C-alpha cells in the first residue's frame, strides 16, 4: 500500500468517521431536544439520565464524544485543540462543542496521519503510558468513542426519544450496484 493510500485509509477510519458520527449525534440531539419539549420533560433531567447508577450520565457521555476525537486529533494538528468535554451543561453547550470538535477535525489533513502514525502518544487515562498514534486511534479512540456514542443513544432511546438505527448511522454513501 502506498503511503498516500495508507494515510487516506487511516484518515477515513478515524477523522472522517468521527466527523460523520458527530454530525449524527448532533442530529440525534436535535430530536432529543424536540422530544423533551413536546413531552414536557426538563432537558436537564434528560441530560442527567443514565442507564445504570454506576454509569455516566447522558451529558457525560456526550462530553466524551467531544473530548476523545479532540484528544486524538491534537497529535496531528498544527493548531491548539479546543477545550471541549468539560464544562457543557445543556444541549446548546453540547451542540457548540460538537461544532468546535468537527471544525477542529476538519482542519486535519489526511497526509498528517501517516506522517505521524508511528509517533508514540500518551494515553489520555495514563500519560505515563502510550502507543503509536495509529494503534491508539484504532485500539483506544475509536472503540471508546463508539462506546460513549452508543450509550448516549441508548439513554435517549430508554427515555422515549424516537430514534432508529438510521439516526445512529446517518446518511450512508450508498452506490447503485
With respect to residue 175, please indicate whether it lies within any of the assigned structural domains. Answer: no
With respect to residue 7, please indicate whether it lies within any of the assigned structural domains. Answer: yes
| pLDDT tens-place string over residues 21-57 | 999 999 999 999 999 999 999 999 999 999 999 999 9
Mean pLDDT, rounded, of the chain? 93
Band the pLDDT of 4: cuts 50, 70, 90.
low
CA distance 64 to 21: 13
pLDDT at residue 119 above 80?
A: yes
With respect to residue 174, please indicate whether it lies within any of the assigned structural domains. Answer: no
Task: Report the 10 Å Cβ neighbour count for 151.
Answer: 21
With respect to residue 133, please indicate whether it lies within any of the assigned structural domains. Answer: yes
With respect to residue 87, please indicate whether it lies within any of the assigned structural domains. Answer: yes
With respect to residue 14, please indicate whether it lies within any of the assigned structural domains. Answer: yes
pLDDT reported for residue 7: 65
The proportion of the chain whose per-residue pLDDT surpasses 70, expressed as a percent, equals 97
Domain that holds residue 74: 3-168
CA neighbours closer than 13 Å in the CB half-sphere of residue 128: 0
Any idea what the CATH number is for the domain that residue 26 is in? 1.20.120.450
With respect to residue 157, please indicate whether it lies within any of the assigned structural domains. Answer: yes
Q: Specify the number of domains making up the chain.
A: 1
SS (H, E, C) the chain: CCHHHHHHHHHHHHHHHHHHHHHHHHHHHHHHHHHHHHCCCCHHHHHCCCCCCCCCCHHHHHHHHHHHHHHHHCCCCCCCCCCCCCCCCCHHHHHHHHHHHHHHHHCCCHHHHHHCCCCEEEECCEEEEEEEHHHHHHHHHHHHHHHHHHHHHHHHHHCCCCCCHHHHHCCCCCCCC
With respect to residue 36, please indicate whether it lies within any of the assigned structural domains. Answer: yes
Band the pLDDT of 175: cuts 50, 70, 90.
confident
Amino acid at each position: 500500500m502506498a503511503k498516500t493510500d495508507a494515510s487516506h485509509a487511516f484518515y477515513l477510519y478515524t477523522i472522517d468517521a468521527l466527523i460523520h458520527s458527530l454530525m449524527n449525534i448532533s442530529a440525534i440531539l436535535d430530536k432529543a431536544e424536540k422530544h423533551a419539549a413536546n413531552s414536557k420533560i426538563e432537558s436537564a433531567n434528560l441530560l442527567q439520565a443514565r442507564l445504570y447508577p454506576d454509569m455516566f450520565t447522558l451529558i457525560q457521555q456526550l462530553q466524551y464524544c467531544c473530548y476523545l476525537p479532540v484528544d486524538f486529533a491534537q497529535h496531528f494538528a498544527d493548531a491548539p485543540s479546543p477545550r471541549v468535554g468539560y464544562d457543557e451543561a445543556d444541549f446548546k453547550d453540547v451542540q457548540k462543542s460538537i461544532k468546535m470538535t468537527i471544525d477542529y477535525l476538519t482542519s486535519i489533513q489526511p497526509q498528517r496521519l501517516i506522517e505521524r502514525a508511528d509517533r508514540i502518544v500518551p494515553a489520555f487515562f495514563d500519560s505515563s503510558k502510550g502507543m503509536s498514534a495509529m494503534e491508539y486511534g484504532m485500539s483506544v479512540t475509536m472503540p471508546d468513542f463508539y462506546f460513549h456514542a452508543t450509550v448516549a443513544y441508548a439513554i435517549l432511546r430508554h427515555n422515549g426519544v424516537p430514534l432508529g438505527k438510521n439516526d445512529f448511522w446517518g446518511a450512508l454513501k450508498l452506490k447503485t450496484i
